[in-house]
A = this chain, B = another copy of it.
C-alpha cells in the first residue's frame, strides 16, 4: 500500500493524516494479523516514540472507519489487517497460534447466506476455523 493511497484512505474517511496513522496502516498492510502491542513496537521502530494510547486510538479509529478489520481469535486480544472488502476468513492453529487467511470461495461459504426470518439485518459473517497446522501435526 503506497503512501498516497494511505493518505487518500484517511481523507476519505474524514480522518486527519498523521505520521502515526500512516505508519500504522503501512505496518498492518505489510504484516497482517499483528496484535496491538506488536504493531506499536513496529511503529515505534519506524517513527521513534509513539504512545500506547495513540496506537489504540488509531486502531479503533481506523477500524470503525472501515480501513482496518479486527479479528478476534483468542478472546482476549485483537489482530488487525487491512479491510480490503474481500471477505476472507481465518484459520488458527490451536497448537502454535499461527493465523492464516482463507479466501472466501463462493461455494464453500454457505454460511454467508444466513437464514431469513431471524429479524436480523446481517452485515457480516465471520468464519474462524480452528485446527492444527502442518508443522504442528508431526509427532
- In the assembled complex, A9 has its CB within 8 A of some CB on chain B: no
Interface size, A (range): 35 or more
Stoichiometry (number of copies): 2
Contact across chains for B110 and A132 when beta carbons are under 8 A apart: no
Contact across chains for A125 and B122 when beta carbons are under 8 A apart: no
Across the interface, which residues of B come within 8 angstroms of A120, CB to CB?
91, 93, 100, 129, 131-134
Contact with B along A85-127 (1 / 0, CB 8 A): 0000101011000001011011011110111001111111111
Contact across chains for A127 and B126 when beta carbons are under 8 A apart: yes
Chain A interfacial positions (CB closer than 8 Å to B): 70, 72, 74-78, 89, 91, 93-94, 100, 102-103, 105-106, 108-111, 113-115, 118-134, 137
